[in-house]
Amino acid sequence: MSTPTLSRRTLLAGAASLPLVTILRRPANAAEFEYKLATGQDPTHPVNLRAQEALNRIREASGGRLDIKLFPANQLGSDTDLLSQVRNGSVEFFNLSTSILATFIPAASLPNTGFAFKDYDAVWAAMDGGLGNYIREQIAKTPIQTVSKAWDNGFRHITSSTREIRTPEDLKGFKIRVPPAPMLTSLFKALEAGAAPLNFNELYSALQTKIFEGQENPLAITATTRLYEVQKSCSLTGHVWDGYWILGNKRAFQRLPEDLRALVTRELDRSADDQRADIVRLSASLRQELTAKGITFIEVNRDPFRDALGRTTFYKDWRAKFGDAAWGHLEAVSGKLA
């Protein structure tokens, strides 16, 4: 995740190598295009670290023509607010989880289907293949579009401040916060949990005041937003894989010359690959760090959870909503679900 530290001499040498005509013609703050990229993640999250690297490369490679400023941690509004802003163009780019994008584009939640992917090989086969292409096409029918390959939010796990979740029966009546995402709400309601949606920027206080007993998120989110301070255990359910799409307002993106559009996609794709690797490494190291912070980790057998879900109408209901063609893209990788 770290980048090489540049010495003062290296920096000065780099500055000296800039053509004088470039410095004279284009002052540092005179970009031809000044855009914003908003995210909901903490500044220390790999999404923001790698996105900032991409934005730096874009600014440098474009000779300062395109300057995209990063606004992390919901500085410009909640996730649902920002989705409206990127749709109307007041924010040009926005990094949003697939689960929340589904409130606007239902097909975005296809990869969030409960217990669909057993590992990352299955995830990337789907997201870099037919399933990802299908979702991109659905997004492109709206005022927004994807501008890079999918990024990784990780497999989601359940944390709790009260009971330890070891079996599907432990979820019955468990007050759990879910994102404003229909797929996740229906998954936990099918398993008879007391699931309710809440925007992420309100989650910490809701756990602190015991409005909710627990929540579910990838380990990187649990760690970078200090949710371990208000939770006691983490059950490694891996019940859903969640990703991120970097979305662009279609008019704003098309306003860029073709060479700058290609540059944006190339550099964001490069950072997506780096960020995917970060999350895999983090998931291993964060388990140790969170244990040191007082979190008890619980290994669970995922099969009883998937079996319990299969005995409900969950898979059949979602297949009916998505349609057979969309569901076929999912089952091409996940195997038979419904």
In a domain, 236, yes or no: yes
> Does residue 180 sit within a domain?
yes
Query: 23 or 243: whose pLDDT is higher?
Result: 243
pLDDT range class, residue 284, cuts 50, 70, 90 = confident
Q: Got the DSSP string for 176-215?
A: EEE-S-HHHHHHHHHTT-EEEE--GGGHHHHHHTTS-SEE
User: 28 falls in which pLDDT band (50, 70, 90)?
Assistant: low
Residue 238 within any structural domain of the chain: yes
Q: Is the pLDDT of residue 16 over 70?
A: no
Residue count (the chain): 338
Split into its structural domains, the chain has a count of 1
Task: Kindly state whether residue 9 falls inside one of the protein's structural domains.
Answer: no
Q: Is residue 21 part of a domain?
A: no
Of 125 and 18, the structure prediction assigns the larger pLDDT to 125
Q: Would the pLDDT of 6 be above 60? A: no
> Among 55, 82, 84, 89, which residue's Cα sits nearest to residue 70?
55
**Domain, as residue range, for 255:** 33-329
Residue 213 lies in a domain: yes
How do 144-146 and 233-249 pair as beta strands?
antiparallel
Contact 94, 83 (CB under 8 A): yes
Residue 8 — pLDDT band, cuts 50, 70, 90?
very low
Q: Give the pLDDT confidence score for residue 29 in this predicted structure.
A: 59
Task: Extract the tokens encoding 187.
Answer: 């998954």
- Kindly state the average pLDDT of the residues 190-206: 96
Does some domain include residue 100? yes
Is there a domain that residue 164 lies in?
yes
- Tokens 């920027």 appear where? 201
Q: What is the CATH number of the domain that holds 149?
A: 3.40.190.170
C-alpha 264/C-alpha 54 separation (Å) is 8
For 227, what's the count of Cα atoms within 13 Å in the CB-facing half-sphere? 32
